[in-house]
Amino acid sequence: MRRRTLLFGSIGLAATTLLAACGSGGEQAATSGAGAKESPEITFLYSPYADYGAFFLAQDKGYFAQMGAKVKLVPKGGSSGETYQLVSAGNVVAGGASWGAGLFNAVKSGASLSVLSSVSRVPKDGRDPSPFMVAVGSGVKKVADLRGKKIGVPGPGGFGAYSVALALKTGGLTLKDVELTNISPPDTGPAMANGAIAAAWTIEPMSTALEEKKIATRLVEHHAAGTELGAVVFNTDFLKKNEDAVVKFLAAYLKAADELASGGWKDPANKAIIAKYTDLPVEMLDRIGLTENDPTGDIDWNSVSLQEQFFREQGDLEYDGNADMQSAFRKDLLDRASASLGSTPAASPSNG
Residue 345 within a domain: no
Residue range 23-31: mean pLDDT, rounded:
37
The helix/strand/coil state of 102 is helix
Surface-to-core class of residue 139, CB atoms within 10 Å of its CB (0-12 exposed, 13-18 middle, 19+ buried): exposed
pLDDT at residue 201 tops 50: yes
pLDDT score for 350:
35
Contact (Cβ atoms closer than 8 angstroms) between residue 88 and residue 94: no
154 and 105 share a domain?
Answer: no
Looking at 193, 220, 247, which one is the last position of a domain? 220
Question: What is the predicted pLDDT for the residue at 343?
Answer: 54
Give the range among 16-25, 142-151, 251-260, 320-329 with minimum mean pLDDT.
16-25
Sequence-separated (6 or more) residues with CB below 8 Å from residue 216: 133, 134, 135, 136, 189, 192, 200, 202, 210
Query: Residue 156 belongs to what domain range?
Result: 132-220
In a domain, 347, yes or no: no
Last residue of a domain, one of 174, 197, 220: 220
Asked if the model's pLDDT at residue 56 lies above 70, the reply is yes
139-152 residue pLDDT tens: 999 999 999 999 99
- Residue 30 in this model has a pLDDT that exceeds 70: no
pLDDT in tens, 274-327: 999 999 999 999 999 999 988 999 999 999 999 999 999 999 999 999 999 999
Mean pLDDT calculated for residue range 334-339: 96
| Selection from 285, 262, 258 nearest residue 50 by Cα | 285
Domain co-membership, 114 together with 41: yes
> Do residue 108 and residue 26 come from a single domain?
yes
pLDDT score recorded for residue 80: 76
- Residue 255 shares a structural domain with residue 175: no
- Say yes or no to pLDDT of 211 above 60: yes
| Domain-embedded: residue 3 | no
Question: What is the reported pLDDT for 34?
Answer: 43
Same domain (yes/no): 234, 335: yes
Cis peptide before 131 (omega within 30 of 0): no
Whether 294 is in a domain gets the answer yes
Domain end (from 220, 252, 285): 220
Judge whether residue 137 has pLDDT over 90.
yes
Quickly count: other Cβ atoms within 10 Å of residue 264's Cβ: 19
For residues 191 and 333, membership in a common domain is answered with: no
Q: What average pLDDT does the structure give for the chain?
A: 88
Q: pLDDT of 91-113, one tens digit each?
A: 999 999 899 999 999 999 999 99
Do both 99 and 212 map to the same domain?
A: no
Predicted pLDDT at 38? 77
Whether 263 shows a pLDDT value over 70: the answer reads: yes
Q: Point out the least confidently predicted range of 47-51, 173-177, 242-246.
A: 47-51
Instruction: Kindly state whether residues 47 and 186 are assigned to the same domain.
Output: no
Cβ contacts of 118 within 8 Å, gap of 6 or more: 228, 230, 231, 232, 294, 297, 298, 299, 300
Q: Give the gyration radius of the chain's Cα atoms.
A: 20
Strand order in the sheet with 150-153: 179-182, 150-153, 199-201, 132-135, 216-220
In this structure, the answer to whether residues 319 and 256 fall within a common structural domain is: yes
C-alpha separations of 192 from 93, 133, 195, 196, 231 in Å = 39, 10, 5, 6, 31
Confidence of residue 37 (pLDDT cuts 50, 70, 90): low
Other CB atoms within a 10 A radius of the CB of residue 352 amount to: 7
Residue 272 within any structural domain of the chain: yes
DSSP 279-335: T--GGGGGTS---B--TT----HHHHHHHHHHHHHTT--SSSS---GGGGB-HHHHH
Q: Where are the beta strands (DSSP E) in 163-260?
A: 179-182, 199-201, 216-220, 228-235
Q: What is the CATH number of the domain that holds 97?
A: 3.40.190.10
Residue range 162-171: mean pLDDT, rounded = 98
Interatomic CA distance for residues 202 and 160, integer angstroms: 8
- Please, what is the angle between helix 301-313 and helix 101-108, to 10°? 100
Mean pLDDT of 26-46: 63
3-state secondary structure of 199: strand
Q: Would strands 150-153 and 199-201 be described as parallel, antiparallel, or unpaired?
A: parallel
Mean pLDDT of 114-132: 95
Average pLDDT of span 63-89: 91
Phi and psi torsions of 220, nearest 5°: -135, 135
Residue 185: pLDDT over 90: no
**Are residues 115 and 173 both part of a single domain?**
no
The answer to whether residue 247 scores a pLDDT higher than 90 is yes
- The pLDDT, as a whole number, for residue 234 is 98
159 pLDDT higher than 50: yes
pLDDT, residue 14, reads 34
Count structural domains, the chain: 2
Residue 31 lies in a domain: yes
Q: What is residue 258's predicted lDDT score, i.e. its pLDDT?
A: 96
What pLDDT, on the 0 to 100 scale, is given for residue 325? 94
Q: What is the mean pLDDT of the segment spanning 157-179?
A: 97
Q: Are residues 166 and 239 in the same domain?
A: no
Q: Kindly state whether residues 237 and 114 are assigned to the same domain.
A: yes
Assigned domain for 335 exists = yes
pLDDT of residue 342: 86
